[in-house]
Amino acid sequence: MDCFRLVLDNVGFDRGAGQIWIDYINFINSAQSHAQYDEQQKVELLRETYQTAVAIPVLRVEDIWKEYDAFEAQTDRKGAKQQLGKMSPAYMTARTALREMNRFWDAIQGTRPRHGLPQPPGWTAREVEHLDAWKRYLKWELGNPLRLSGAEAHKRVIYAYSQACMDLWLYPEIWIEFAEYYASIGQQNEALAKLQAASGVLPQSLAVQFAYAETAEKMKQLDVCKQVYEGVIDRQRSSIEKATEKYTRKLDRQDRRVERAAGSGKQPDSGGAEEQPDSDSDAGDGDDVDDSVSVASDSDGGESKQRRTAQRVARVRKA
């Protein structure tokens, strides 16, 4: 029973948790009662479980309501109408909410990547539609359609954002919105922890890093703030150094081509084999530098061609 309670406390309000509630009810029903007191405790536990389940928009909620109706009729025929009347508004609200949820989830599942795995946003039409579908669902949850109390409503929204982050793992804005929601309900530590997690998932996202640093600064955690900014600077410096090294190697190759052409007094054969890259990292990098400084061959004087080529290389280096 403790296992069922642990699961239901954490995912019992998930749209797909209807079968778990049914299994839990069947488990309670299967328990043997050895005394009248035990039987009364079992009835009370079943009633409490049914009343909790029928107020949640889960798949098969209508089946659970039918079972609850039969349970009350069998347990206390006189009081059944009163119990069912008390729970009917909550059940109707849950059933209506489930229909709305189904539309949101149909849109989410219909636009999800075919392989089902998180991937960096390429901003294709399908990906944008998938992101919009999630945002519509999150907005709906934020509106508290079930008219729950503060704590219960917060729990549902947090769970919805957790689901969105799993599906949109590499989308910075979802992580930031999640942290902002935590902050809006006064849970600053959770907001900072969420941004810390996002910082590890998306180290190259400046939006995430700055949001993390700003939240840490508001909480007077200046050591964390300093660490974030230093990390941003180090990563940017490393990226610049790698780019500089890459283009320097490319320009060095062009220098050798020009020098070889000048030493031979001939133009390089545009149809011949080109010089191999200096390292594996240069091969297949898809850059246009080689094309911008390539030496063409035509019928004009070779010496003037060499001068023009050298001038083009100089312009590329200066740029």
Residue 113 confidence class, pLDDT cut points 50, 70, 90: confident
Structural tokens at position 133: 């579908």
Q: Assign 257 a pLDDT band (cuts: 50, 70, 90).
A: confident
Q: Over the stretch 231-248, which tens digit does the pLDDT of each residue have?
A: 999 998 998 999 999 999
User: Is the predicted pLDDT of residue 44 greater than 60, yes or no?
Assistant: yes
Q: Is the pLDDT of residue 77 over 70?
A: yes
**Quick one: pLDDT at residue 57?**
97
Nearest to 305 by CA among 294, 317, 291: 294
In angstroms, the Cα distances linking 232 to 124, 130, 150, 207, 229 are 28, 30, 37, 11, 5
DSSP per residue, 237-300: HHHHHHHHHHHHHHHHHHHHHHHHHHHHTS---TTSPPPPPSSGGGTT---SHHHHTPPP--SS
- Confidence at residue 227, expressed as pLDDT on a 0 to 100 scale: 95
Structure confidence at residue 280 (pLDDT)? 44
Q: How confident is the model at residue 254 (pLDDT cuts 50, 70, 90)?
A: confident
Residue of 218, 156, 213 whose CA lies nearest to 181: 156
Burial environment of residue 72 by CB neighbours within 10 A (0 to 12, 13 to 18, 19 or more): buried
Position 35 scores a pLDDT of: 78
Q: Span 126-152, mean pLDDT?
A: 95
Rounded Cα–Cα distance for residues 46 and 57 (Å) = 19
Please give the Cα distance from 216 to 206 (Å, whole number).
Answer: 15
Rounded distance between C-alpha atoms, residue 150 and residue 152, angstroms = 6
Q: Which long-range contacts (C-beta less than 8 Å, at least 24 apart) are formed by 285-292?
A: 285/246, 287/246, 287/247, 287/250, 289/247, 289/250, 289/251, 289/254, 289/316, 290/250, 290/253, 290/254, 292/316
Asked if residues 72 and 80 have their Cβ atoms less than 8 Å apart, the reply is yes
Q: Which of 202-206, 255-259, 299-303 has the lowest mean pLDDT?
A: 299-303
- 99-121 burial: b if 16+ Cβ within 10 Å, else e: eebeebeebbeebbeeeeeeeee
The predicted structure's pLDDT at residue 288: 43
User: pLDDT at position 295, please?
Assistant: 35
Instruction: Specify the amino acid at residue 149.
Output: S
> Which of 4, 32, 29 minimizes the C-alpha distance to 19?
4
pLDDT digits (tens, 9 = 90+) for 259-310: 888 877 655 554 444 444 444 444 444 444 344 333 333 434 445 545 555 5
Q: Report residue 130's pLDDT band, with 50, 70 and 90 as the boundaries.
A: very high
pLDDT score recorded for residue 46? 95
Q: Percent of the chain, pLDDT > 90?
A: 65
pLDDT at 208: 97
What does the pLDDT average to over 150-156?
A: 94
64 band by pLDDT with thresholds 50, 70 and 90: very high
pLDDT of res. 267: 57
